[in-house]
Amino acid sequence: MTLSIKAASTWQEVENVHVKVAGEWKGVKEAFTKVNGVWQPIFEGTPTKWESLDLSLGLSMIAPEKINNKVIGLTGYNLYSIDLDTLTTTHLGNVNILITGTNINIIEVNSIKYLYLYGGYISTNSTYNTKLYRINLTNIINNTSPTSIPFEEVITTGEVIGNSLYSSSGVLDNKLIIFSGSNTTNSFHPLPKNTIHYLDPITNVWHSHAGGTSITPVTLSRSCVIGDAMYIYGGMRGEQSPNYVGTSARSTTILQVVKFLGDGLLYVTKVKDFKNIASSPSTRFSHGVCAKDNDAFYAYGGFAGSVHNDLWEYSISADSWKFISNSPNFINATNTSNLGLEDIQGSHLNSDRELFFINGTERSITGQPVRKTYRYGF
């Protein structure tokens, strides 16, 4: 980057420039700009189009699948939609059960879109949820007046999953995938399960994966579906009492891939640890992940002893990472809130595409968590 000033009608190159940032003079080899009240460096070739949005709803669950660029999320008994085109939120109505520590996913069955929920913890009666529930979204996605929206129980057969908290989930080949998860509500001392289960929503039969590479059991990992595969990244390994170690030592940089092969069964096709590979993200859990087109995904933030604020892109074909940018503040997801990372074609910020960081927990200067939603434009 070359910095110039106009002197006597002539542009002159400037060296050894200093600017005052937060009361401290800093040399400007790159440059600094003020983003949402915080001074941030602008590195050569790296845009910093970050914007804070007033869309924080305290959502505890966010579906990774969108409906016409609308994100569906739950907070307590309240179901919301967020329109990423108009940047508006709508309270769709109230659900009938309060479950934490799990995920929601949207699946189309016989041309009807349903919101599915499995696992987690029922706070009202202090029990583990081992049932499958769903909501018909067809008649409520465009609600303008909130209404009562009861979850209906789906009667299933097949493999027994049991307790499942802080797992990863996704919709692959129109089947609901539940990856690993924990048997306990203690998110910082979990006991991850060495299992993957999938549900056929037509037959409502649960199956376990057929095999392949042995998985690394983790909790609080994040996943996305790209093409014919589900990519599960990061997460936290388990531990056994009394040999507790810190969350930083148990957090991972492991990428795990599952897909249905020719026999129609689900297999683990790849497990790779990037921990000691240069130019890769550091270990993390409770981060955000979302697909980019058909050959990449983004990973952002999370926690591993400290909060991360870095955005990365992983190329599937090149099997490598690329650092993109640091956010103005540190945004992660705790065990009570999902960090929803959503990618859409750019319609704001004069950008080609945009990433939305929905409902992250921002660590403020005072140390108090603040719910935030950010947008990054490329």
Per-residue pLDDT of the chain (378 residues; tens, 9 = 90+): 444 444 555 555 545 555 554 455 555 444 555 544 555 554 444 444 788 777 767 677 888 899 988 999 888 899 999 888 888 889 999 999 898 888 899 999 999 999 999 998 888 888 999 999 999 998 888 777 878 899 999 999 999 888 888 899 999 999 999 999 888 776 566 778 888 999 999 999 999 998 888 899 998 899 999 999 999 999 988 765 445 556 677 889 999 999 999 888 999 999 999 998 999 999 998 888 999 999 999 999 888 877 788 999 999 999 999 999 888 766 655 544 456 788 887 767 667 788 888 776 655 444 555 667 788 888
pLDDT at 18: 55
Q: For domain 53-377, give its CATH number from 3.55.50.30, 2.40.30.30, 2.120.10.80, 1.20.1050.10.
A: 2.120.10.80
pLDDT at 106: 96
What H or E segment, with its residue span, contains residue 248? Answer: helix 247-250
- Domains of the chain, by residue range, sit at 53-377
Cis ω before 64 (30° cut-off from 0): no
Distance (Å, whole) CA 273 – CA 357: 25
Question: Residues of 157-183 as b/e, b for ≥16 C-beta within 10 angstroms?
Answer: eeeebebbbbbbbbbbeebbbbbbbbb
Residues paired with 4 in a beta bridge: 13
User: Hey, what are 191's tokens?
Assistant: 């006991």
User: Hey, what are 313's tokens?
Assistant: 């892109």
pLDDT tens, residue by residue, 233-256: 999 887 654 455 566 778 899 999
pLDDT tens, residue by residue, 165-185: 889 999 999 999 999 988 877
pLDDT at 241: 47
Residue written as token pair 């056929």: 200
Radius of gyration of the chain from its Cα atoms, rounded to whole angstroms: 22
Phi-psi region of 182 (alpha: psi -120 to 50; beta: other; left: phi over 0): beta
